[in-house]
Amino acid sequence: MAKLAGVSMATVSRALSSPSLVREDTLQRVRQAIDALGYVPDASARTLASGRSRTVAAVVPTLDNAIFSHAIQGMQQVLAAGGYQLLLGSHNYDPDTETDVVRALSERAVDAMVLVGADHAPDTLALLRQSGTRTILTWSLSSQYPCIGFDNFEIGAQAARHLYDLGHRRLGMISGIGAHNDRARLRTEGFLGTLRALRAPLAPGAVCEQPYTFAGGRAGLRAVLAQAPATPTAIFCGNDVLALGCLFEATAMGLDVPRQLSIVGCDDLPISAEVTPALTTIALESSELGRQTALALLRWLQDGIEPGRMEMPVALVQRGTTAPPGEPG
C-alpha cells in the first residue's frame, strides 16, 4: 500500500479526493509515495464505495452521421477536462435496440445518461427512472426532461419562409423517416404547416420519407419528381446528407441547381460549404451542442444544479443552392 511510504489509507484517499482537508506536508509525502510506487487508484472500488462513477453514457442513433460524431467529440472533450469518462452506445434508429443499450449502460452505474431526441420507448424511460439515472435529452426540446436542443419545428418553418420569400410556390420535401424520430417529424410539420399558412401548401406526393443517406436523397428526388403533379421548383431536405444526395442526383440528371431547382438542407456539415454549388442549409452547431451538454452535466453532477430546458440557436445560411425560381442564381 502507498501508505507504507507515509501514513494511513484514509489520508491517501483524502489526498486524492479532497486535498484541501490534508496538511500541505503530508500531501507532499503522499504524492511522492504515489508516483514512487506508480500507484493507480481503482475506479471500481472507488465507485462502489462512493456511489459515483465519474462516467456518463451517451446513446446516439449512429456515429456514421457526422452530426452525431461531432457532438460526441465535443462532449467527450469537455467531459474529459472535467475528469469524466464517456461510455458510448448506438441504436441505429431502433427503439428496442435503444432500450437494450440503455439497460446495459445503466447497469454500469453511470452518473448520467444523454439521449438524442424526445422519442423513446416507455421501457427506456422507465429503466432510467427506476435506476435513478440522471438523464438529459439532446437535439430536441422537452417540457418533461432536462434538455438541450433545437427547435425542430422552427427549422422547417425557416426553410419554408426562405423558399417562399424567394418566390417559390411549388415545393417538395424529402424527409427523414418519421417513426421514432421527433426531429424528423417536427421539421416536416414546421415546413408543411408554414407553407399551408402562407397559402402555398404542398401537393400530395410532394413529400417523401427516406433514410438519412446519400442514396436516400437521390431516391427522394426521383420520387418527388415522379409523384408530384407539377414539378416543384424547390425542395427542403430533412438534413444535409439527404440534401447532398438530392443535389448530386439533380446534377446527374442534368438539372441546373439552383436555376431549375432550389435545395435547402439542415445541419451545415463541413462538406456542405465545399460542394458546388454550396448548399443552402440551416446550421446546427452540433459540436457546440455536445460541449454545452457536457457542461450542463458537469454542473449537475458536481454542483447539483439540475439543467432546465436550453434552446440552441438555428440559422439559415444561404449559399448557392437556392435562388428565385427560373431565375439566374
Partner DNA sequence: CTGAAAGCGCTAACAA
Partner DNA sequence: TTGTTAGCGCTTTCAG
Interface residues with a second copy (CB under 8 A) are 38, 40-45, 47-48, 53, 55, 62-64, 66, 69-70, 72-73, 76-77, 80, 83, 85-90, 101, 104-109, 130-131, 214, 244-245, 248, 251, 270-271, 274-276
Q: What angle do CA 227, 152, 65 make, to 5 degrees?
A: 80
Instruction: Between 164 and 300, name the residue whose CB sits nearer to DNA.
Output: 300
Which of DNA, a second copy, none is residue 10 near (CB under 5 to 8 Å by kind)? DNA
16 binds, among a second copy, DNA, none (CB under 5 to 8 A by kind): DNA
Give whole-number Cα distances, 151 to 141, 144, 269, 284, 290, in Å.
7, 15, 18, 10, 16
Smallest distance from DNA to CB 1, Å: 7
Restricting to residues 38-77, name those near DNA by CB under 7 A. 39, 41-42, 45-46, 48-51
Binding of DNA at residue 9 (CB under 7 A)? Answer: yes
32 binds DNA (CB under 7 A): no
Q: Which is nearer to a second copy, 5 or 198 (CB)?
A: 5
Q: Which of 4, 5, 21, 82 binds DNA (CB under 7 A)?
A: 21
Does the footprint of DNA cover residue 273 (CB under 7 A)? no
CB under 5 to 8 A by kind: which of a second copy, DNA, none does 275 bind? a second copy
Q: What cell was used for 167? A: 418566390
- Asked if residue 303 binds DNA (CB under 7 A), the reply is no
87 binds, among a second copy, DNA, none (CB under 5 to 8 A by kind): a second copy
Q: Which is nearer to DNA, 24 or 274 (CB)?
A: 24
- 8 contacts DNA (rule: CB under 7 A): yes
State how far the Cα of 142 lies from the Cα of 66, in Å rounded to an integer: 24
Find the shortest distance in angstroms from Cβ 23 to a second copy.
25
Nearer Cβ to DNA (12/279): 12
Min dist. Cβ of residue 24 to DNA (A)? 8
4 makes contact with DNA (CB under 7 A): no
Binding partner at 99 among a second copy, DNA, none, C-beta below 5 to 8 Å by kind = none
What is the C-alpha to C-alpha distance for residues 299 and 178, in angstroms, rounded to an integer?
33
Helix H, strand E, coil C: the string for the chain is: CHHHHCCCHHHHHHHHHCHHHCCHHHHHHHHHHHHHHCCCCCHHHHHHHHCCCCEEEEEECCCCCHHHHHHHHHHHHHHHHCCCEEEEEECCCCHHHHHHHHHHHHHCCCCEEEEECCCCCHHHHHHHHHCCCEEEEEECCCCCCCEEECCHHHHHHHHHHHHHHHCCCCEEEEECCCCCCHHHHHHHHHHHHHHHHCCCCCCCCCEEECCCCHHHHHHHHHHHHHHCCCCCCEEEECCHHHHHHHHHHHHHCCCCCCCCCEEEEEECCHHHHCCCCCCEEEEECHHHHHHHHHHHHHHHHHHCCCCCEEECCEEEECCCCCCCCCCCC
Q: Which lies closer to DNA via its Cβ, residue 27 or residue 88?
A: 27
* Complex with a second copy: residue 202 or 257, whichever CB lies closer: 257
Q: Which does 255 bind (CB under 5 to 8 A by kind): a second copy, DNA, none?
A: none
Q: Does 280 bind DNA (CB under 7 A)?
A: no
Q: Cα separations (Å) of 185 from 19, 65, 66, 154?
A: 51, 18, 20, 12
Q: Which does 245 bind (CB under 5 to 8 A by kind): a second copy, DNA, none?
A: a second copy
- Residues in touch with DNA (CB under 7 A): 1, 7-14, 16-17, 21-23, 25-27, 39, 41-42, 45-46, 48-51
